[in-house]
Each structure stands twice: as structure tokens, then as C-alpha cells.
Amino acid sequence: MTLVEAVNDGLNTAMHEDDRVVVLGEDVGVNGGVFRATDGLYDAYGEERVIDTPLAEAGIIGTAMGMALYGLRPVPEIQFLDFIYPGFDQIVNEVAKIRYRSGGQYTAPMVIRTPYGGGIRGGHYHSQSSEAYFAHTPGLKIVIPSTPTDTKGLLLASIQDEDPVMFLEPKRVYRAVKEDVEEGYYETEIGEARIAREGDDVTVIAYGAMLHVALQAAQTAEEEGVSVEVIDMRTLVPFDKDTLEASVKKTGRAVLVQEAPRTGGFMGEISAFLHERLILNLEAPIQRVTGLDTPFPYTLEEEYLPTPTRVLDAVDEVLSY
């Protein structure tokens, strides 16, 4: 099963188990979503629960919030993360703050699903990786899977979570990674990272599509005699401090990979956290490999995005410090 099929399976499983779950968004019904993430749901659950909305992200998020207040479990889809901004106010000022603002009287548990990231020749507006805006907003959980198995388990856990979750799907690997995925209902815990590959010399931390870049780099490093531990964060907020700390304590060296622009990116937070906690365990300053501080380009997207070569270069740098 591919990653996007795992999204579909997760949604189908959730809708089957829990009739509070509704899906809404642009082209999610008859068309089954522009990436086919909601394929078949319209036929299976009908137009009342699988809603082709008017074209307005503020409306999608705002009405989803109303549904959540009233007890449904909406799973709004935003067609591309790049198009979420008309709904940004609803997300950061309303969805994220309602529990706090009402002293817990009202809550808006919902899962905002959206494909993110580059590598599909999408230019400025079909490639952004703007998770940091949301990570900077207290009240939102941020989940970013990188494998089909995690995608399904994390999606199901997100839908049952009592808090709103931003569920960012790495569209670059929607169809690139395939694996057998457990049938039926299972949850993967939010807030737990995964050691994607064990190693001793250096820790590479990544999430989403970049996890696969990190793994490729680790493979090449091994051929050169360097043992790389790769950690898949899976949840950015709240992140798994124990797994990160234990790994970096062990290796004493870390390289952090994100495709988002460098300035204000989430890996800056992880770098600060590790330096604050582990300065005496570190053998070298932690390095970041990131996208550029530019809008996402079209022709030169391969050059913009972190590659295994650039990750290896940073691995060399922390090893030879």
C-alpha cells in the first residue's frame, strides 16, 4: 500500500468505526480528491459525510470547527498546504485557542489534512513546507508521517485525539514508498518518534519526505564506514524529547534535515533544545540541512531541496569537527 492509499484506508476505517467522522474539502467527493486520498468515500458514505465544499478554505476550516464544537469529528482536507492561508485566521485564532479561551468549555477536535512539500514540480504554490507557522501556534498538534504504516496509525490516532491536529502529508512520497499495512483499526501514538535506522556515530533527525533523504544518506555513509542513526520525528508538537535526547547522547553528533526555509524553521527549535540539554555530550555543533530562505522555485527545485549528498556533507562536517 502506498502512503496516499494509507490515508485513504485510514479515513475509510475511521468513517466505518465512528459515525461522527465527516470529510470535507475541495474535490474530495465525486472526484475522490486531486490526489485520490478520499477515493471511494463518497460512494461508501454519501454526500452528507463526504462533502464537496465551495472553494473557500476559511469556510472549510470555519465550518469544520462548528461541526467539531457540536460533536462531530471533521477531517477537513486542504488541497495543498500552500492554499491554507485563507483559513489561517480560523486555524490560529479559533481552532487553536478555543479550548483555552473558553476554559475548556468548548473544544474543536479535528484533523486538518493537507499535502505539503516539494519535489513534484509544483513551483511556489504547490510545494511549501510551512509547518513552522503552525508549530508556533499553541493549541495545535503537528503530525507528519513518512511511511504508509505510520500514516494510517497516526491518522486514526489524530482523529480520536481531543485536540486539533495538523496532519501534513509528504506528497512527494505519496506513491514512492510502498509497504504492507495492517488491516483494520490500529493507532500509532502521537508524540512518539521512531528510530528508522540504528547507528552509533551520528544522529540524523528528519520528518516527512526528508526522512527518505536521510535514510539514503545513511545507507551511503555506511558504505563509507560511518554508522548513522536516523530518527523519524513523526510528531513535531509535542515532540518526543526522550528519543531525541537518548540518541544524541549516544552519538554526540547530530544533523537535522528539513525542506522548509532555514530561518525560523522547526529544526532551529530542535537544535536549540539539544544544545540546551546536551551541550556537554556534544562532540560537534549540530548542523542543519534545509531549504533556502527563498520562495520555492520551479526549475531549480532539486537544487533547493536537501539531497543525500548535502546531508552527507553535513555528516562529514560534524564528524570531522
Partner 1 sequence: MATLEPPKTIMNDDGQPNGEVPDLSQDALLDMYEAMVTTRLLNERGMKLQRQGRIHFYVGSMGQEASHVGFGAALKETDWYFPHYRDTGVAVLRGASIEEMVHQCYGTAEDHIQGRQMPNHYSFKDINFYSISSPLSTQIPHAVGAAYAAQIKDDDVVTGVAFGDGSTSEGDFHVAMNFAGVWNTPTVFLCQNNQWAISVPTEKQTASESFAIKAKAYGFDGVRVDGNDVLALYQASREAVEKARNGGGPTLIEAVTYRMGPHSSSDDPDRYVPQEDLEAWSNRDPIDLFQAFLHEQNHLTESEDEALRERIKDEIQAGVESAENAEGPTIDSLVEDVYAQVPWHLREQADDLKRFYGERPDMDGGH
Comparing CB distances to partner 1, the nearer of 24 and 218 is 24
DSSP state of 233: -
Nearer to partner 1, 80 or 134 (CB): 80
Query: 186 contacts which partner out of ligand TPP, partner 1, none, CB within 5 to 8 A by kind?
Result: none
Cβ closest to ligand TPP, residue 26 vs residue 161: 26
Indicate whether 58 belongs to the interface with partner 1 (CB under 8 A): yes
Q: First and final CA of the chain: distance in angstroms?
A: 42
The length of the chain in residues reads 321
317: helix, coil or strand? helix
Contact residues for ligand TPP (CB under 6 A)?
A: 26, 55, 57, 79, 83, 86
DSSP, collapsed to helix, strand or coil, labels residue 149 as helix
The partner in contact with residue 304, picked from partner 1, ligand TPP, none with C-beta cut-offs of 5 to 8 angstroms by kind, is: partner 1
- Give, for 5, the enclosing helix (H) or strand (E): helix 3-17
Q: Are 8 and 150 in contact (CB under 8 A)?
A: no
Q: Where are the alpha helices (DSSP H) in 200-300?
A: 209-223, 241-251, 266-278
CB of 55 to ligand TPP, least distance (A): 5
| Number of residues this chain uses to bind partner 1 (CB under 8 A) | 42
Shortest CB 307 distance to partner 1, Å: 8
Residue 299: which of partner 1, ligand TPP, none does it interact with, CB under 5 to 8 A by kind? partner 1
Asked if 252 interacts with partner 1 (CB under 8 A), we say no
* Cβ nearer to ligand TPP, comparing 36 with 97: 36
162 contacts 104 by C-beta, under 8 angstroms: no
Query: What residue 44 binds from partner 1, ligand TPP, none (CB within 5 to 8 A, per partner kind)?
Result: none
Distance CA 187, CA 88 (A): 28
| Residue 74 binds to partner 1 (criterion: CB under 8 A) | no
Instruction: Name the minimum Å distance from CB 259 to partner 1.
Output: 14
Q: Is 71 exposed, middle or buried (0-12, 13-18, 19+ CB in 10 A)?
A: exposed
What whole-number distance in Å separates Cα of residue 70 and Cα of residue 63? 11
Instruction: Give 245 or 313: the residue with its C-beta nearer to partner 1.
Output: 313
Q: What b-and-e string marks burial along 38-64, b requiring 16 or more CB atoms within 10 Å of the CB?
A: bbebbeebeeebbbbbeeebebbbbbb
- Per CB under 8 A, the segment of 70-78, 100-108, 210-218, 294-302 that binds partner 1 is 294-302
Residues between 297 and 316 with contacts to partner 1, criterion CB under 8 A: 297-300, 302-304, 307, 309-310, 313
126 is catalytic: yes
- Neighbouring C-beta atoms of residue 125, cutoff 10 Å: 13
Catalytic residue among 126, 136, 212, 275: 126
> What span, in angstroms and rounded, lies between the C-alpha atoms of 143 and 158?
8
For residue 183, state whether it binds partner 1 (rule: CB under 8 A): no
Per the CB < 8 A criterion, the answer to whether 113 and 37 are in contact is yes
Can you read off the three cell numbers belonging to residue 198?
540504528
Of all residues in the shown chain, the one whose CB is closest to ligand TPP is 83
Q: Which residues are catalytic?
A: 126
Binding site for partner 1 (CB under 8 A): 26-27, 29-32, 34, 52-59, 82-83, 85-86, 121-126, 262-263, 292-295, 297-300, 302-304, 307, 309-310, 313
